[in-house]
Amino acid sequence: MKIVSFEATLHKFPLTKPYTIAYKTIFDTDIVLFELRLANGITGFGASNPFPEVVGETPQNTLENLQSDALQFLIGKDINDFQQLITAITRLFPELPGTQAAIDTALHDAFGKYKNISVLNIYGQKIKPLPTSITIGIKDVSEMIKEAKQYYDQGFRILKIKTGIHIDEDIERVTKISETFGKKMSIRVDANQGYDLFTLQRFIKETKKLDIELIEQPLPVAMDDELNKLDENVKSILVADESLINIHSAIKLAERPKPYGVFNIKLMKCGGICGARQISEIAQKSGISLFWGCNDENIVSISAALQAAYSCENTKYLDLDGSFDIEDPFFEGGFTIKSGYMYPNELPGLGIKFKNK
């Protein structure tokens, strides 16, 4: 079945809950939507929201790439060759993962719909459904506890706490939240490169009794080697995020001595499902677990990440809450959430539907 047309548009979505991380406050998100149509009328949907601070690509760059004449080569190509087409896209737009991800997800969605199977069934489900963490940005302790209680009432049992600005306040925040919930809520921490080795060691020491599950990207990317001064049991709960961009960085971080025990895979960093699965293979060979994260994304790319996550044997953690605070006027479906667990809906492709079609 031939590809006959494609279209890309850029949209700004306000967040219902703006939040602060170590280096900025986020109030809204720009998302590029990509539609790819087949001769039989099937439409494959893709979406993209790259963080320029991490990958050097903006949503506006993505839009321009997706509207360029370079993509005309897709017209007339057979959707059965979607994986070869994704390979061609990575060569055409190297180091532009936002552009790659939009096309990758649209091609997967179109192929799955054409074959009447889910994207997950293309690769096979390797693990049982997992609970996702839900993120709380940097704010006053009382506000964080209030928000955490709301999430607890909604059925979530894993919190990801943003840190990285003031170490004393960070320690107070996670301590107070831990004291409030005890064993009823697991806690993960994301410093977004906000610490140096000394402050990280202090944070670990002063929160040791809290049994924090994971610590995400504690040091700046250039300081990864400093983490090898830590004990192996500490490194086992450290998660590479901004340090892990693509296959090349995955290979480097998988070499011994390994600074991280966990890889945070985001489709917006690695270019989509195919790139994510390649990183998964590298990680699995080195005994590294997978943590699937996201930017502020709509259900199109979140659904893609979820199905990719469940197709990898070494997936252990989900942090796919990126669409929860976005009011999407375009799409619905993709997955359901029950007691914090995420379940793909098993419909063809990504399982999403365009609301007006």
What pLDDT sits at residue 20?
80
pTM for the model stands at 0.96
Are the beta carbons of 344 and 120 closer than 8 angstroms? yes
Q: Give the residue-averaged pLDDT of 225-242.
A: 97
Residue 16 banded pLDDT, cuts 50, 70, 90:
confident
- HEC string of 290-321? EEECCCCCCHHHHHHHHHHHHCCCCEEEECCC
Residue 23 banded pLDDT, cuts 50, 70, 90:
low
What pLDDT sits at residue 146?
96
| 19 vs 26: CA distance, rounded Å | 5
Q: State pLDDT tens for residues 95-119.
A: 999 999 999 999 999 999 999 999 9
Mean pLDDT of the chain: 96
Q: Give the residue-averaged pLDDT of 148-172.
A: 96
Helix (H) or strand (E) holding 214: strand 214-216
Architecture of domain 121-354: Alpha-Beta Barrel (3.20)
Annotated domain spans of the chain: 3-116, 121-354
Residue 88 has pLDDT above 60, yes or no: yes
Residue 93 has pLDDT above 70, yes or no: yes
Residue 1 banded pLDDT, cuts 50, 70, 90:
very high
What pLDDT sits at residue 295?
95
- Residue listed under structure tokens 């840190």: 163
What pLDDT sits at residue 308?
98
Helix (H) or strand (E) holding 199: helix 197-206
Helix (H) or strand (E) holding 152: helix 141-153
CA 82 to each of CA 1, 7, 73, 105: distance values in angstroms, whole numbers, following the listed order: 11, 17, 13, 10
Percent of the chain with pLDDT over 70: 99
What CATH number does domain 3-116 carry, 3.90.740.10, 3.20.20.60, 3.30.390.10, 3.40.50.1220? 3.30.390.10
Q: State pLDDT tens for residues 32-48.
A: 999 999 999 999 999 99
Are the beta carbons of 230 and 307 closer than 8 angstroms? no
Q: Give the residue-averaged pLDDT of 279-292.
A: 98
Other CB atoms within a 10 A radius of the CB of residue 27 amount to 10
Residue 216 has pLDDT above 70, yes or no: yes
Residue 175 banded pLDDT, cuts 50, 70, 90:
very high
